[in-house]
Structure 1
């Protein structure tokens, strides 16, 4: 979309934008446009492959039907062959007594029956080969589709970031406005006071005109304008000077001001303005309260006017625009200088809360401007030990707080719907031991895309009933646990049999023959989730563990997995509908492992049922039904988009697929 140049018409007014700013804005729009174009292209490709997949699936169904007919015919031909042989043998016996008997018809019948039976066997073999080839094609198309889905979701993330950055840059434009303003001098004020008041009121008018035009020229003005009062839009007056001024004989004062201004905005609110997940704005800090208003005072110094907040923040023009122009006493810059300094607070966690002298200042990263002096600083987050410090603030200072997780146990389950206690769960420490189990209570839930943000295979929504409780491993099966199985049995995974393991390279899965569960392509330790295991490898481990424990272990079916992962919630993630930052290990989720590797198990808070890493880390195999050819994986992974780590997301894969982003956990039957 072409951005109209900023122009104001207030008497004879001119607003000039810098060439650099115009170029930057054009570049921002070009970036958004390029991402949107790429999104459209990839969506078209995905739609095409969806059609191709449907055709392949239809062809596989046709081939399977033909195979069933051939197998049915095989029985009929076998019966015919046996009957023809019996008939011919009977004629042979009669031929001994009567050499004149003609057995040629019986011979021909038997010969034809044998030939037909042989041909049918060959047809069956060819049909099986055709189905196998078709399934390979289906798997390749599915992998391509998964790649495109991940690419699309990543592009959507990039688009969100680009839109936020474009909006921020559009709000922070700079321009010069020449404006005329006339006032009537009061009988009680001096000419100097009237002159000063006229200049101040002219400057107020300029700031309101400036912010109006910024809003009018936003690329997404239709989206932002209805939320204008929530923007925290502000104006910095860079410089101003009087072009000319004078008094009239009627006691009027007219002034012509040239004002250079730069827009500003509460950047942490940009996501709300664009209806985006707040994680796109997390680098800007936590949004202030919606009704935040800054106080301002006009400052006159060296024939230049500026507006500044009493705590050195810019004018909140969204507030000014609603108010009549009022007279504000001018104060000297020296009266406010050197009394306030910046205090910047950061921490190693997301969604924390900062308290200064007991007053909340939102979440980190945040910067406040406060007077020098002594302060009690505290940063809190549920599940972490609070950070506390007593500081003597004399100059600008940055605090980098490190919060440490509390050690805690989950001893009860609380029903999300009723708030009543339900079945107790086994105590789960902050770092659970291998094969530790959480008890999942019986219950009813709605399965599928409850928010309308899912993929087609997540619909329709179906209500499911789990009549009995069951136990599920609280973490994904680890490398150490799988090693004990392999050493005990001598088991070799499919990847270790010279067939390798897939990994993501340039946005698509690539096979690496050397990769396996012991060498997945990244550094790992014993408490990492085991990966590069195919469906049958996971089942083999479950069978071994069942023998070791004397109880039946298996992969969870999809209903069991989603019910346990939801843990009584109806949101996309255990904590809500936004992925947040550093709450899980998925691509672009803000953890130290994102897009690098899985995290060691249990590095993030468990859900209400005591399960760790149901969001991200590695996809998890689920038990397939007898009628299924493919197997579904759930939960997302460290290198997949956050939107694919939703609780209802499903990806169908061939049972022999294996990758360094797929692992599993087991359930124990009653």
Structure 2
């Protein structure tokens, strides 16, 4: 018996789990396991260094307490020395009139007081040296910790990519099943028709069982199974042959088929199945805006499967990609699933996002083939008014959207004219260097609001800012810092022979030749200034205050996070996913990612008019008087996206400097 050539692709729906299929790709699993093992090792290492840091900090506190006691004792010993000297001098005066007076006791007292005072001074010097050594150890541990934090986040990124690739390979593997199926022939159909129907239903049974096996044997079945109807999983019949078949005397037809099949999946949906950020699936395209219908019909029409020559016993498959079945309340059910029209969407901006019936299709230019019907179209970009329209799509159509920049009612930009002193040097500066954004007074929740943060982001605390303040809309640029240096002759710590750190092989490495003028990459005047320490940033703020006649300083952490959040409660100003090309951080999809900072203001501002609060360079914040360390905020061009969250904090020594750390200032009222 021969079965004519066919193409057979079936959309997956929610099904019961079936027989065991071959095991998952061992290499993919080994890769995921290796990354998970390395993650565990690095996490243990981070925990160890966190414990070491706590001990060092406790020891520094103990040494500092002892130093204060020694200084207090120094005052007492100085007083005792002076009293002993006065007493001995008094006896010397009396000795002139009465040589028999014994001055030995007074002399011994003074000698002891001098010795005690001298010893206490030596103890103070030793204590100061011990504290300096302790702080040096603390600095090293902190640098190691922020290195480990970045390494951990990078490993998490690698793990996400490896999990997606493993799932894709598990969905698309090939296998062979043998199935047996028996049907009752209808009185109204010929034996040939009954035979054809039996073989059709046998193939249907095989494909259903195969896709059940695929899901049952996914390594992360427990994660994926609840979202099974969203997978867009498919089965392609590669080849099939009839092992045995025949009719019984009761008019039943039995067929035993051996079917070789290959799985397929809508790869752009893998991230959703694994609850991962969509950027891990960006190479696979944009998720389809369709839901896959549960469809295993009882029979197939002749237009779907055709069996003709009853002699042959093999199937050769010509691959034809099937159109998915679209379910939307705006499309009539009577429309054929394979009748589609082309819709092209364009806009006047880059890095926008297209939504069709509320589902993201990525950025323009977008071309999709969809069934005729009504569609709600929306095109968005941060900083622009969204474009919205509703189409009754009957034929191929192109939509050219024009997005208009959004007015920022909460942001007031103050452009200040620089105060020129007689020796001021004119330099070309960025258009944004003199811009300030007014940050309104308000209340907000500070810290890890989503549960994805680091331990030092907890607990969440409500903070109140009673007064508005002004903050520079961009990070301080190279041009602006050069004006300060040329006006004052200031030399940064890096330029005094100490050098500047850069990131190499997962750790900061010192380069003596690096400075704000030579950070290790090509920069221009509108790049953020880097390789500046906390004290360098404060020196710039003091100079600018004198130039402007107003008080400028580094923002404290509360001011920085409040301004960076701009009224939001999400991880980033635009939501809880980093997206692609929305900021400059490691693996964020920008042209500068993992290469260098971007020129300031290359991405859309947040709701308060601030640029680059996500990524580009870490920014120094003002430390409290009781702090020995300083916190940097905002992430950087070579750090993982998860460290560019608005609540992320890294503690560093005030004299640390790197080609990924800069700053911006606030102006006090």
TM class by shorter chain equals 0.7 to 0.9
Report the Cα distance in structure 1 between the residues aligned to 2:210 and 2:74, rounded to whole angstroms. 85
Report the Cα distance in structure 2 between the residues aligned to 1:411 and 1:363, rounded to whole angstroms. 25
TM-score by structure 1 length?
0.83
> Which residue does the alignment assign to 2:597?
598
> Do residues 412 (structure 1) and 409 (structure 2) align?
yes
> Do residues 515 (structure 1) and 502 (structure 2) align?
no
> Which residue does the alignment assign to 1:419?
none
Structure 1 residue 282: Cα displacement: 2.1
> Which residue does the alignment assign to 2:144?
144
User: CA, structure 1 residues 363+576, in 2 after alignment: closer, same or farther (shift >3 Å)?
Assistant: same
Kindly tell me the number of residue pairs found equivalent between the two proteins.
601
Report the Cα distance in structure 1 between the residues aligned to 2:230 and 2:157, rounded to whole angstroms. 23
User: CA, structure 1 residues 312+178, in 2 after alignment: closer, same or farther (shift >3 Å)?
Assistant: same
> Which residue does the alignment assign to 2:426?
none
- Which digits, 9 at most, give the CA deviation of each residue in 1:617-662, with x for residues without a partner? 1100001111111111111111111111111111111110000010
Q: 2:305 aligns to what SS in structure 1?
A: strand
| 1:16–1:176 contact (8 Å) kept in structure 2 | no
Pairwise mapping of residues 32-51 of structure 1 onto structure 2 (< 5 A)? 32-51=32-51
| 1:16–1:177 contact (8 Å) kept in structure 2 | no
User: CA, structure 1 residues 258+341, in 2 after alignment: closer, same or farther (shift >3 Å)?
Assistant: farther
User: CA, structure 1 residues 382+73, in 2 after alignment: closer, same or farther (shift >3 Å)?
Assistant: closer
Structure 1 residue 556: Cα displacement: 0.5
User: CA, structure 1 residues 88+139, in 2 after alignment: closer, same or farther (shift >3 Å)?
Assistant: same
User: CA, structure 1 residues 350+37, in 2 after alignment: closer, same or farther (shift >3 Å)?
Assistant: farther
Structure 1 residue 581: Cα displacement: 1.4
> Do residues 426 (structure 1) and 427 (structure 2) align?
no
Stretches of structure 1 lacking an aligned partner (at least 5 in a row): 1-12, 320-335, 372-376, 388-398, 414-423
> Which residue does the alignment assign to 2:96?
96
> Which residue does the alignment assign to 1:621?
620
| 1:596–1:639 contact (8 Å) kept in structure 2 | yes
TM-score by structure 2 length?
0.83
User: CA, structure 1 residues 529+462, in 2 after alignment: closer, same or farther (shift >3 Å)?
Assistant: same
> Which residue does the alignment assign to 2:112?
112
Structure 1 residue 288: Cα displacement: 3.0
> Which residue does the alignment assign to 1:312?
321
User: CA, structure 1 residues 553+133, in 2 after alignment: closer, same or farther (shift >3 Å)?
Assistant: same
Structure 1 residue 362: Cα displacement: 2.0
Report the Cα distance in structure 2 between the residues aligned to 1:234 and 1:660, rounded to whole angstroms. 49
Pairwise mapping of residues 221-620 of structure 1 onto structure 2 (< 5 A)? 221-289=221-289, 291-293=291-293, 298-300=304-306, 312-313=321-322, 352-353=353-354, 362-364=361-363, 368=368, 381=381, 408=405, 410-413=407-410, 425-426=412-413, 433-620=432-619
- Which digits, 9 at most, give the CA deviation of each residue in 1:46-75, with x for residues without a partner? 111111111111111110111011000000
User: CA, structure 1 residues 623+383, in 2 after alignment: closer, same or farther (shift >3 Å)?
Assistant: closer
Stretches of structure 2 lacking an aligned partner (at least 5 in a row): 1-17, 328-337, 372-376, 388-397, 416-429
User: CA, structure 1 residues 50+354, in 2 after alignment: closer, same or farther (shift >3 Å)?
Assistant: closer
| 2:565–2:572 contact (8 Å) kept in structure 1 | yes
User: CA, structure 1 residues 344+152, in 2 after alignment: closer, same or farther (shift >3 Å)?
Assistant: farther
Structure 1 residue 454: Cα displacement: 1.2
Q: 1:299 aligns to what SS in structure 2?
A: coil
> Which residue does the alignment assign to 2:160?
160
| 2:238–2:317 contact (8 Å) kept in structure 1 | no
Report the Cα distance in structure 1 between the residues aligned to 2:359 and 2:76, rounded to whole angstroms. 82
Q: 1:140 aligns to what SS in structure 2?
A: helix
Structure 1 residue 111: Cα displacement: 1.2
Bigger mean CA offset, 211-220 vs 345-354: 345-354
Structure 1 residue 341: Cα displacement: 12
| 1:437–1:471 contact (8 Å) kept in structure 2 | yes
Report the Cα distance in structure 2 between the residues aligned to 1:540 and 1:225, rounded to whole angstroms. 58
Structure 1 residue 313: Cα displacement: 2.3
- Which digits, 9 at most, give the CA deviation of each residue in 1:256-305, with x for residues without a partner? 22211111112222122212222212222232346333989633478666
- Which digits, 9 at most, give the CA deviation of each residue in 1:397-451, with x for residues without a partner? xx9x9999x78464412xxxxxxxxxx52289xx952131111000011111111
> Which residue does the alignment assign to 2:124?
124
Structure 1 residue 370: Cα displacement: 7.6
User: CA, structure 1 residues 567+136, in 2 after alignment: closer, same or farther (shift >3 Å)?
Assistant: same
User: CA, structure 1 residues 198+154, in 2 after alignment: closer, same or farther (shift >3 Å)?
Assistant: same
User: CA, structure 1 residues 172+240, in 2 after alignment: closer, same or farther (shift >3 Å)?
Assistant: same
Structure 1 residue 354: Cα displacement: 7.2
| 2:614–2:645 contact (8 Å) kept in structure 1 | yes
RMSD: 3.4
